[in-house]
Amino acid sequence: MSTENEGNEVPPAPSAPPVPVASPTAPQGAVPAGNEPTAPLPPVPQDAPAIAGAQPDPAAGAQPGGPGTPHAPGPHAPGPSAPGAAPGGSWPPPPSGTPPYGEGPSHGAGGFGGGGTDGPGVWGASYQQPAPKPRSGRGGLVAAVLVAALVAGGLGGGLGYTLAKDSDNNGSTTVSASDSNAAQVRRAPGTIANVAAKSLPSTVTIEAESNSGEGGTGTGFVFDTQGHIVTNNHVVADALDGGKLTATFPNGRKYDAEVVGHAQGYDVAVIKLKNPPSDLKPLALGDSDKVAVGDETIAIGAPFGLSNTVTTGIISAKNRPVASSDGSSTSKASYMSALQTDASINPGNSGGPLLDASGAVIGINSAIQSTNSGGGFGGSGQAGSIGLGFAIPINQAKYVAQELIKNGKPVYAKIGASVSLEDSTNGAKITDQGAAGSAAVEAGGPADKAGLKPGDVITKLDDMVIDSGPTLIGEIWTHKPGDKVTITYKRGGQEHTAELTLGSRAGDN
């Protein structure tokens, strides 16, 4: 794993020019104080309409990028960094015949500049032995005292070394923290460390590969003891139609897997381990309807392929309408009324669990808001977390997963009316014509029975405000076929309400 230099200059180290061992005095010329800076080390180079509740349109709504990590070459190393500015002053002067550090290309203010000539006492100049001075008797006495002092100093130094060595052999003088206190304070029930320790063994890193060798990495979690793993549809999409799928647990155990069922519209998929172990521990499922803004969240995943990564945050919004796709021309959008979290979620977190403070799953991490103009789940130029992650509420995902395990295909709720997918703040408008030339209001469908007509603008579904077609679809899909809902709509400037029973559509086609 490579890291990028953040541009910080290497701090100069205090130094003074060396003095020749055989010299009784220092070289001639000005000698800087011991805290004068030396030359810093140069920085290291771095290398059109759709039936509401039916198959969605890929151009719908906002397009947050899903955090699944594609297999791609490693990040391109940036070009070599320009050398950092050197501290001011001219110490130390350069060796004879060598231009001073900083000459040549400009290094900016404060770089080594000024003189490049050698003079007496400069760095690198030859040492000149000073002429001896006549000694007096007093000088001889001083020399004798110095010799005695050096002998005593040598004895003292040797004794000190011996005592220090014996002290090292007898034990350390450092103080260690109490292991019991650390366990009680940091890993007590309900703490992040405790939740992570219990939840990580039930998460897997998923690798999907197509027949052509393309693929990506995502995350999933143990759904039941039979070996079913829940994840995102876009995580396993590459392995469909004969591709390869594997799931790796944090302890290193790796299993081949197969897709049991996938729901593109919900962005939910279920895979099953081949020859699953007998000690699987499914994660407990929470109640996403009871989640409140401000509740703590814990996300587990493999951001950028870094398996078993734990991040934390809060629920920053609920019922956030999200339409997501991978940005490709053939991609169809997924819709959700999402839990929004500021826990760090990046490509590779897709399909991983979003947990509450007790460790219960409240959502499946599915998409991120991206400032990347290309958008999408993968490809080059992937964006990182900006604190806007979106998770499919577990109440919805649980229903979808159970349908996939039971029937192998998803079942969607619908009202049987085609609505515009254009961005709007006024509501979801029923179009004049349906997809592929079909009727905008399905004959005998829920909307038809409730009296809805082309041109009507739906503004509420129960108490949820509807501001666009994608929002309506996402909200319908939080319900099950057969649920009764109240529709508020406008016709000719007048507001009306109607009750209807949601219909159903099986499969993604």
Q: Contact 214/238 with Cβ under 8 angstroms?
A: yes
Q: Phi and psi of 142, rounded to 5°?
A: -60, -40
Chain-centroid distance of CA 434 in Å reads: 40
Peptide bond into 92 cis (omega under 30): yes
CA dihedral 324, 326, 331, 334 (to 10 degrees): -20
Phi-psi region of 426 (alpha: psi -120 to 50; beta: other; left: phi over 0): alpha
How does DSSP classify residue 61?
Answer: S
Distance separating alpha carbons of residues 380 and 374, to the nearest angstrom: 9
User: Tokens 């977390």 map to which residue?
Assistant: 385
SS3 content of the chain, % helix, strand, coil (to 5): 20, 25, 55
Residue 267 catalytic?
A: yes
How does DSSP classify residue 11?
Answer: P
Residues in the chain: 509
Distance separating alpha carbons of residues 478 and 135, to the nearest angstrom: 102
Q: Contact 365/345 with Cβ under 8 angstroms?
A: yes
Q: Contact 426/457 with Cβ under 8 angstroms?
A: yes
DSSP SS3 for 395: helix
Catalytic residue among 350, 366, 418, 468: 350
Q: Contact 199/259 with Cβ under 8 angstroms?
A: no
Closest among 75, 65, 74 to 349, alpha carbons compared: 65
Catalytic residue among 57, 238, 267, 326: 267
Residue 167 catalytic?
A: no
C-alpha separations of 184 from 48, 71, 180, 192 in Å: 58, 41, 6, 13
Catalytic residue among 107, 228, 234, 262: 234
14-41 residues labelled b (16+ CB within 10 A) or e (exposed): eeebeeeeeeeeebeeeebeeebbbbbe
Distance separating alpha carbons of residues 61 and 45, to the nearest angstrom: 42
C-alpha separations of 325 from 66, 199, 264, 329, 355 in Å: 7, 29, 10, 10, 24
User: Tokens 């050398």 map to which residue?
Assistant: 83
How many CB atoms are closer than 10 A to CB 120?
11
Residue 234 catalytic?
A: yes
Closest among 335, 340, 343, 487 to 416, alpha carbons compared: 487
Could you list the beta-strand ranges (E) of 349-456.
353-355, 361-368, 389-393, 411-414, 418-419, 428-429
Active site residues: 234, 267, 350
